Structure 1
Amino acid sequence: MIPSLARMTAIGTYVPKSTLTNYDFEKMIETSDAWIVQRTGIRERRVAAKDEYTSDLCIAAIKNLLERYPVSIEDVDFIIVSTTTPDFPFPSVACQIQKAFGIQSTGAIDISAACAGFVYGLQLANALITSGMNRKILVLGSEVLSKVTDYSDRSTCILFGDGAGVALVEKCEEESSFLYATSGTDGKGGIHLYRTGLSSQIDTTTLSGNTKIVQNGREVFKFAVNTLTREVPKIIHQAGFSLEQLDWFVPHSANQRIIDAVCDRINFPKEKTLFSGEYFGNTSSASIPLALQLGMDAGKLKKGDLILLSGFGGGLTHAHLLMKWTV
């Protein structure tokens, strides 16, 4: 178990209005709705407007949080944003959020851990609060992946969508949310999922993509399934629980086939997983908060439930957080 004096007290989400369906893709590339659903579980994804960026999605998600819960953010003392699609290299998205809400005294950082980023953000928030450095933190995962998707790449363009989620994490000595956390990295797999930047080479491999997402789907699939199959039972056991006690498994919603394969291997009921990809696509760091919100809206998630969040993706990275649902 990890030290924790932190509690998640509220969440909010936002997705853009424009929808890109599988039937739209039938007009763009050689594919079909049935093929996409069978291979990914995705039917639709949301697409940001031309003038809509990651910071806009974050601000909308925070407004959604404030509409749903009787909380304030004026006294937030740290903002953490996980994104691979910031508006600019700098200023950070977190700084733009501070400006938008006029928060007077707060730290602000962006972190880059791809699809594991939201879980990393929660781990960091717990550490900052438990250490005594901070008391109230906004943790966001937000992406506009449509702006970096190569729509001529048949194997990847069907996957990605845009969205944002936010959690408010506060100091609470009576009942913490966070029970156990782990993370890991396989940097050798970085060549299997990337966007080019200032450098166009990893080790001796020359990269392609022209700033768009490039993914070796087969290798990422293997990494995700093998990693989750190994880590999930180990995490539950090390935390002193059994898989039978886990109420909800909330992995990154990359692909329904990944989640099904993991559940089959560890003998965990698929109906006890939360997936946001069906109507939002793969939203990278936003997929887990979107799945949590869908679970709440459907009446599935209840206070006191034992849940495991598992993020995995570019890096290659993975991060896991076992928690008691307190929202």
Structure 2
Amino acid sequence: MIRSCITGTGSYLPAHILTNATLAAQVDTSDDWIVERTGIRQRHIAAADEFTSDLGTAAARRALESAGLQPRDIDLIIVATATPDQTFPATATIVQTKLGIDDCVAFDVAAVCSGFLYALTVADAMLRTGAHKHALIIGAETFSRLLDWEDRATCVLFGDGAGAVVLSAFEGGGTSSDRGILATRLHADGRHNQLLYVDGGAGSTGTVGKLRMKGKEVFRHAVTNLAAVMHETLAAAGLSPADVDWVVPHQANLRILEATARKLDLAPEQVIVTVQDHANTSAASVPLALDTAARDGRIQPGQLLLLEAMGGGFTWGAAAVRW
């Protein structure tokens, strides 16, 4: 059978760093308050002339270099983002042009913080048909442009960034020891729209709007939903939590990461944590964390990774991946 394998990773963070101390001078908060409740110490903010496509293109170039491929080798680009450059066309087509690719399938996926998992699942299905050989899956966000900088409950939580992977098709034996994506599971429940949303849109207010969130309710749903989908995904792959080497989670809140790991009886040391360095970068956070751990040597060939995320919608999902 055909397996979709991650052959390269890349990430990019804007140069400007906004620390908790600097933020505390702008809104009623403090470094201690933010770190204690979220684990976040800083976030990166895109420059005025730096767009989501720029962040995504930079991450994509690094992923291509890691995979040893050229842009011309790519025949599929999927960008997961809630902050596209334009209402249309898709940001993926802008990234395509910036990479110098004349023709390939290119489109966006909108599932907010779960967007990378949704995009990965779609790309996996497309590669397994044999229609595509090499795909670029990118999570890229300029979330700072959706924030109400007077709302301390939300503005401290988010930042800008991008992460990318190259997904390539290889022959596998059809067992859980195969390299590549072994199983994915996705969910959505639109009844919870008002717990995490943006109060604007091209088809409603005609404005971009600002992010609004009820944090306590989101936390409760996140821990329950993420633990459930992780168990579901492992079961679909014929595996158990004892088989997991690393969890690569959506970097939203350190407390959520810790609580979810406990529900799977995993040690905190098995969870890749980067939220302290870049805050919640929505669809970019899973590939950002993945690239960090791949490059610093923690992730080794043959190890089992469990990727997970939940975001506005609610949407949530997980993927079991053999490195």
From 58, 62, 65, give the equivalent of 1:64: 62
State the secondary structure of the residue aligned to 1:122: helix
Deviates more, 1:283-292 or 1:60-69: 60-69
Deviates more, 1:143-152 or 1:97-106: 97-106
Distance 2:264 2:57 in 1: 38
Deviates more, 1:72-81 or 1:246-255: 72-81
2:192 aligned with 1:194, yes or no?
no
Q: CA deviation at 1:73?
A: 2.1
Distance 2:265 2:67 in 1: 36
Q: Name the counterpart of 1:89.
A: 87
Q: What amino acid sits opposite 1:150 in the alignment?
A: D
Q: CA deviation at 1:68?
A: 3.5
Q: Name the counterpart of 1:180.
A: 183
Flag the 1:127–1:113 CA change in 2: closer, same or farther, 3 A: same
From 211, 216, 223, give the equivalent of 2:209: 211
Deviation string 1:60-111 (CA, Å, 9 cap, x unpaired) is 1122224444222203111100000001011211111121122132011011
Q: Name the counterpart of 1:206.
A: none
Distance 2:58 2:202 in 1: 31
Whether contact under 8 Å (2:146, 2:208) holds in the other structure is no
Q: CA deviation at 1:210?
A: 6.7
Q: CA deviation at 1:298?
A: 2.7
Deviation string 1:5-63 (CA, Å, 9 cap, x unpaired) is 32111111100000000101110111111110110010011000011110010111122
Deviates more, 1:302-311 or 1:171-180: 171-180
Q: CA RMSD, aligned part only?
A: 1.6
Deviation string 1:188-233 (CA, Å, 9 cap, x unpaired) is 01111111213559xxxxxxx9701111111111110111222222
Q: Name the counterpart of 2:33.
A: 35
- Percent identity reads 39
Deviation string 1:157-193 (CA, Å, 9 cap, x unpaired) is 0000000011111121145401011111111011111
Q: CA deviation at 1:4?
A: 4.3
Q: Name the counterpart of 2:320.
A: 322
Q: Name the counterpart of 1:257.
A: 255
Q: TM (normalized to structure 2)? A: 0.93
Whether contact under 8 Å (1:75, 1:105) holds in the other structure is no
State the secondary structure of the residue aligned to 1:30: coil
Whether contact under 8 Å (2:40, 2:277) holds in the other structure is yes
Q: TM (normalized to structure 1)? A: 0.92
**Which blocks of at least 5 consecutive residues in structure 2 are unaligned?**
173-177
Q: CA deviation at 1:135?
A: 1.6
Distance 1:68 1:210 in 2: 35
The count of residues paired between Structure 1 and Structure 2 equals 316
State the secondary structure of the residue aligned to 2:89: coil
Q: What amino acid sits opposite 1:198 in the alignment?
A: A
Q: CA deviation at 1:276?
A: 2.1
Q: What amino acid sits opposite 1:267 in the alignment?
A: D
Q: CA deviation at 1:113?
A: 0.4
Q: Name the counterpart of 1:117.
A: 115
Distance 2:82 2:26 in 1: 26
